[in-house]
């Protein structure tokens, strides 16, 4: 295993768990604690993490109570969500995957919209429970800690019985050739189930996710009917998707 690989792994761990322990890393990566210490020191000197006795932590601690309030690239996501809302009609059955864009969608739903929303995301369910007319159904299952979404067999079984009008699928990466991809295997399988339970699948990526790829495939691009970004629909970046027959907004 290369040093760079370890560094990437460590950074990923820190991002998702807020901390790492030297002893744990040493065990997982099969190197001595000395090496880990050197890794941590280097990353710390670069300002990428904060070294502490026994391991390292993320620089800025983002407490639980604030974490879900702040949305990365919020402006862009508001633009996207505005374009997405007209897709939802009264009495629709909607499936909403996790992700901050979908959370923003949940927040911006018109208060007079009457619909049933199935979701596997805890923050989205909480948000929707405050909506006066939307009936919220949580798709239960094992909760993935970082993402605060339910995943796994329970989810997959649950949605097998649903035929939704529209599905908003969380999109970590989308590529005109490789489709929607993600990096967590279990999450990917769950997303596959969500995608296949709706006739109309919508992806809402911010433009920086366009034409990036992650290890695991959620779905091919042909299963996605609509793509909405914060860009103008004629933007060059989206040409490939228009050509493949997607509705681009």
Partner DNA sequence: ACTAATCGTGCATGAACAGGCATTAAAACT
Partner DNA sequence: AGTTTTAATGCCTGTTCATGCACGATTAGT
- Stretch touching DNA by CB under 7 A, among 16-24, 71-79, 173-181, 209-217: 16-24
Q: How far is the CB of 175 from its own copies (least distance, A)?
A: 30
- Stretch touching its own copies by CB under 8 A, among 24-32, 52-60, 92-100, 217-225: 52-60
Asked if 53 touches DNA (CB under 7 A), the answer is yes
**Residue 53 burial by CB count (10 A; 0-12/13-18/19+): exposed, middle or buried?**
exposed
57 binds, options DNA, its own copies, none, Cβ within 5 to 8 A by partner type:
its own copies
Strand order in the sheet with 50-52: 19-21, 55-57, 50-52
Asked if 34 touches DNA (CB under 7 A), the answer is yes
50-to-24, 47, 60 alpha-carbon distances in Å? 17, 7, 9
19-to-56, 149, 185 alpha-carbon distances in Å? 6, 21, 22
Name which position in 135, 208, 239, 245 contacts its own copies (CB under 8 A).
135
Task: Match 């949580």 to its residue by tokens.
Answer: 138
Name which position in 10, 13, 14, 22 contacts DNA (CB under 7 A).
22
Return the number of the residue (54 or 140) whose C-beta is nearest DNA: 54
- Stretch touching its own copies by CB under 8 A, among 56-64, 90-98, 172-180, 235-243: 56-64
Task: DSSP letter for 222, please.
Answer: G
Return the number of the residue (18 or 225) whose C-beta is nearest its own copies: 18
* Helix extents (H) in 30-121: 33-45, 64-67, 74-84, 100-108
Q: How far is the CB of 71 from its own copies (least distance, A)?
A: 14
Asked if 23 touches DNA (CB under 7 A), the answer is yes
Asked if 50 touches its own copies (CB under 8 A), the answer is yes
Spatial separation of the C-alpha atoms in residues 129 and 103, rounded to whole Å: 12
190 binds, options DNA, its own copies, none, Cβ within 5 to 8 A by partner type:
none
143-to-75, 132, 155 alpha-carbon distances in Å? 28, 26, 10
Name which position in 98, 99, 123, 179 contacts its own copies (CB under 8 A).
123
Spatial separation of the C-alpha atoms in residues 231 and 237, rounded to whole Å: 9
Cβ pair 27, 59 in contact under 8 A: no
Asked if 245 touches DNA (CB under 7 A), the answer is no
Task: List residues near its own copies by CB under 8 A.
Answer: 2-5, 8, 11-12, 15-19, 21, 50, 52-55, 57, 61, 63-66, 69, 120, 122-123, 125-130, 132, 135-145, 148, 150, 154-155, 158
């Amino acid at each position: 295993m290369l040093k760079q690989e370890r560094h990437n792994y460590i950074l990923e761990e820190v991002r998702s768990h807020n901390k790492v322990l030297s002893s744990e890393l040493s065990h997982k990566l099969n190197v001595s604690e000395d090496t880990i210490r050197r890794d941590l020191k280097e990353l710390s000197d670069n300002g990428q993490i904060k070294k502490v006795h026994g391991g390292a932590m993320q620089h800025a601690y983002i407490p639980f109570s604030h974490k879900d309030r702040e949305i990365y690239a919020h402006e862009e996501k508001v633009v996207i969500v505005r374009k997405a809302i007209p897709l939802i009609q009264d009495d629709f059955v909607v499936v909403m995957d996790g992700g901050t864009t979908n959370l923003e969608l949940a927040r911006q739903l018109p208060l007079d919209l009457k619909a049933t929303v199935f979701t596997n995301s805890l923050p989205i369910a909480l948000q929707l429970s405050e909506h006066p007319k939307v009936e919220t159904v949580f798709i239960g299952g094992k909760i993935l800690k970082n993402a605060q979404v339910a995943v796994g067999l329970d989810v997959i079984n649950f949605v097998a019985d649903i035929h939704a009008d529209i599905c908003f699928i969380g999109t970590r990466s989308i590529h005109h050739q490789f489709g929607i991809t993600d990096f967590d295997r279990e999450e990917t399988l769950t997303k596959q189930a969500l995608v296949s339970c709706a006739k109309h699948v919508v992806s809402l990526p911010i433009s920086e996710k366009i034409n990036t790829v992650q290890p695991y495939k959620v779905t091919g691009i042909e299963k996605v009917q609509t793509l909405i970004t914060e860009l103008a629909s004629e933007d060059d970046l989206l040409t490939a998707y228009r050509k493949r027959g997607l509705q681009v907004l």
